[in-house]
Chains A and B, each alone.
Chain A
Amino acid sequence: MPWTSAAVIIGGLSLIGVPGTAGFLSKWLLVQAALEQGYWPIAMLIVASSLLAVVYVWRLVETLYLSTPHSEQTIQEAPLSMLLPLWIMALACIYFGFETDITLGAAKAAAQALLAGSSGMLH
């Protein structure tokens, strides 16, 4: 199942937060915010969680690519109707790693609304 496995890798890389994926940018913003506030331990924890993601994603990669498959059954690639949505999401992981107007804009709007809302309740 080469197409499914390749999509697994892309999704996994985004979970790790490898540069060029959507997961990288959110991690960048989190670490930057933590550092600007001087919360060093928090920044280190965020980074450590990425490293844990490397471990569990790579166990999957090694199993998918580097183990010998059971030869009894012949395995076929999943049907196109499953592959198509799966690949749209995988490509979105990469697309939103570079194009941030939509994601960052929406996140900013949400953050402003939330912050404004809570301060409104305080006063």
Chain B
Amino acid sequence: MDTSLAILLSMLLPAAAVVTNLLFRNSPNLRDGLTLGAAIATFLVVLNILVTVGNTTTDTFVLLEVMPGLELAFNVEPLGMMFAILASGLWIVTHVYGIGYMRGNNEDDHARFFACFSFAIFSVMGIAFAANMFTLFLFYEVLTLSTYPLVAHKGTLAAVKGARTYLSILIGTSIGLQLVAVIWTFAIAGTLDFTRGGILEGLIAGPSVAILLALYAFGIGKAALMPFHRWLPAAMVAPTPVSALLHAVAVVKAGVFTMLKVGIYIFGIDFLAATGASVWLMWLAAFSIIASSVIALTKDNLKARLAYSTISQLSYITLGVALATSMGILGGGLHVVTHAMGKITLFMCAGSIYVATHKTNITQMTGLGRAMPITFMAFLIGSLSIIGLPPLGGSWSKWLLIMGAADAGQLTMIGVLLISSLLNVAYLLPLVGKGFFLKTTNQTGPTKFSESPTLVWAPPAFTAFGCIILFFYAGHIQAFLMPITAAP
């Protein structure tokens, strides 16, 4: 298949799913079946691009020129390719899970829910294949708007308030800071094309470099860098499939993906290293890592704890960019995949516990492991991957980040990553331990085997297995990403 056509198809298929969801709103099986078909087809189209293009960068395919120099344009490059595979592949898993969750939980408005979900995937594909910052920014905003109805889905007062926080922080940072950064970049460089080695070297100097980087780093609110992280816990009012795919994978990864793209293709890591403009960002990312892990320890609501854990893990990737070394960005890139696989497992487990028992707080989950062994085993595997222990995928990305910190001569950062691992142990493993080894304290909890419906427990078991697979194939992903570190 022609690559340009394939890129278009990867966006049109999710867009078509939006339409079919609205058209067949009253026939649930047809509607959900068609969306599943669209998800599988999208994944196959993306795989097709992988097979024909591999990890090289293709020529830009210009869909249309909006203003002179500003084009809606797409191409394939290693990071975007990886992101597209990740998002489209996990869309299939999450859709299956979503059907089970929404039906098992008797939620309302399935059609609107799955339509917005598909719309979000459409924008993620646009972000993954964007060839310039203008296109990326456009789809970045579409992603914010399409996920707003999902956060507000339940329509309760808490949901409306959470959604308001979500929208105001994400739109506020992107229009107030990121857009200014983008236009400033365009004004000095005359282009916004993602170019190996960056487009700014020699055109900007002094403190302006750090200021521009700050406008980007804070403007990319989806990366949840402190102090613009509050939207992520606020988004947890959404149904769990949304938290799983969008707020552990698609939306937050779109944020750190943008961060990586800006660091690698707008500034260029050599330029960042030479000017030292990213040193402050490194310290801020380190602060975010530790501070949000400590906050996670204090949260009893499982989804809130996972949300703060995500904020911490996203800052790993920002840290990778800020280190401005090859190993740092490789580790950051790999962490996009390994964290996605681990965290989606944890969120789907949280949803599974909720569907089976309607429990949301960790203290209520004591002893549940014996009743729900599959869910709790998946949770254990996902946790170990997030902590970064072999034989699970998460160990490699953490390893690369530590190497990156060593290359940059930042030994403190190695310490930060190690302390973070210990904190991860402290906030993730007690749930599993108490779940398996303690007896239920109250009499309301189930004592014999009572797993959630198959469609709800099977997806997290599958992604937990994925965490193990990633350990053995991380080397392939690293080799795949290698071109992003090459000099122009």
Given known A-B contacts A31-B179, A35-B183, A43-B180, A13 and B152 have beta carbons under 8 A apart: no
A interface residue count range (under 10 / 10 to 19 / 20 to 34 / 35 or more): 20 to 34
Nearest Cβ distance between residue A64 and chain B, in whole angstroms? 12
Q: How far is the CA of A66 from the CA of B160 in the complex (A)?
A: 7
Within A9-58, the residues touching B (CB, 8 Å) are 13, 16-20, 25, 28-29, 31-32, 35-36, 43-44, 47-48, 50-51, 54-55, 58
A31 close to B67 (CB less than 8 A): no
Contacts of B184 in A (CB 8 A): 35
B187 close to A32 (CB less than 8 A): yes
Contacts of A19 in B (CB 8 A): 134, 137-138, 141-142
Contacts of A55 in B (CB 8 A): 168
Within B156-177, the residues touching A (CB, 8 Å) are 160, 164, 167-168, 171-172, 175-176
A20 close to B179 (CB less than 8 A): no
Tally of B interface residues using CB under 8 Å? 28
Given known A-B contacts A100-B67, A104-B67, A66 and B155 have beta carbons under 8 A apart: yes
A18 close to B179 (CB less than 8 A): no
Given known A-B contacts A18-B141, A58-B164, A47 and B64 have beta carbons under 8 A apart: no
B66 close to A47 (CB less than 8 A): no
Contacts of B176 in A (CB 8 A): 47-48, 51
Q: How far is the CA of A92 from the CA of B374 in the complex (A)?
A: 53
What residue in chain A is nearest B155 (Cβ atoms)?
A66
User: Secondary structure at chain B's binding surface: helix, strand, loop or mixed?
Assistant: helix
Nearest Cβ distance between residue B327 and chain A, in whole angstroms? 34
Cβ of A98 within 8 Å of any chain B Cβ, yes or no, is: yes
Interface digits, B59-72 against A, CB 8 Å rule (1 contact, 0 not)? 00000101100101
Cβ of B186 within 8 Å of any chain A Cβ, yes or no, is: yes
Q: How far is the CA of A32 from the CA of B188 in the complex (A)?
A: 10
A-B contact pairs, 7 of them (CB 8 A): A19-B141, A19-B142, A35-B183, A47-B180, A51-B175, A54-B171, A65-B149
